[in-house]
Amino acid sequence: MNEEKFYKLKENFKNRNIEVNWFETLGEVKSYILNIVPVDCNIGIGHSATLQKMGITNSLLGRGNIVYDKEIGKNREESKILKKKALLAEWYISGSNAVTVDGRIINVDHSGNRVAAISYGPDNVIIVVGINKITDTVEEGIKRVKNIACPLNAKRAGYNPPCVELNKCIDCASKERVCNILSIIEGQSEENRIKLCIVNEMCGF
Ligand code: SF4
């Protein structure tokens, strides 16, 4: 993404009360997060290949934060409790499926915990995305989510909707469907509650 496009994106999000910051590497984003998130608070984590690559959960746990990340649950029941606790954490850190230059954040969820927390839960939300998640419009963003992110996420999580084999969305009504909830954040009532971190790397899917 060139500089002109980034500043256009940043301005569009600013008008919607969402702060945008640019980082060259995931390591820089991690330092930023560890700097602005207090050491004495609790944090919910929205499952994300980008955050896993960053290793943010272990770093936060290692310095004494309480972290609600479903990945550290020992079984399905524990993971479910962690997802619920994350909804009312003081901070929430997540990836996203697509971000548009005109100022929208697009996510699809299987169960809805992540979109619920981002929409109305923690008072402070940090969203980390690589440049591969940037699209020009909502239509392109949804197309990206359904045809790229969903098949890969379904495969990773062990579900088998039609897109896994076909590598494209056929708008299925399968019980294995992974995109049960589609969320488009178009703005925020509280200024800078959401901080969007864009990293100049290809991250997640
Ligand atoms: S609607 Fe079905 S086929 Fe389309 S992305 Fe979702 S799970 Fe895959």
| Region of residue 22 (left: phi > 0; alpha: psi -120 to 50; beta: else) | beta
Residue 34 predicted with pLDDT over 90: yes
Ligand 1 centroid distance, CA of 203 (Å): 22
According to CATH, the topology of domain 3-199 is Rossmann fold (3.40.50)
Average pLDDT, the chain: 96
Local structure of residue 155 (DSSP, 8 states): H
Domain boundaries, the chain: 3-199
**pTM of the full structure:** 0.95
Ligand 1 close to Cβ of residue 146 (< 6 A) = yes
The CA-CA-CA angle for residues 33, 45, 146, to 5°, reads 110
108 lines ligand 1 (CB under 6 A): no
* pLDDT at position 151 over 90: yes
- Evaluate whether 183 touches 107 at the Cβ level (below 8 Å): yes
* Contact of 87 with 115, CB cutoff 8 Å: no
Does residue 126 have its Cβ closer than 6 Å to ligand 1? Answer: no
CA distance 197 to 25: 11
Q: Which of the four pLDDT bands, split at 50, 70 and 90, describes residue 3?
A: confident
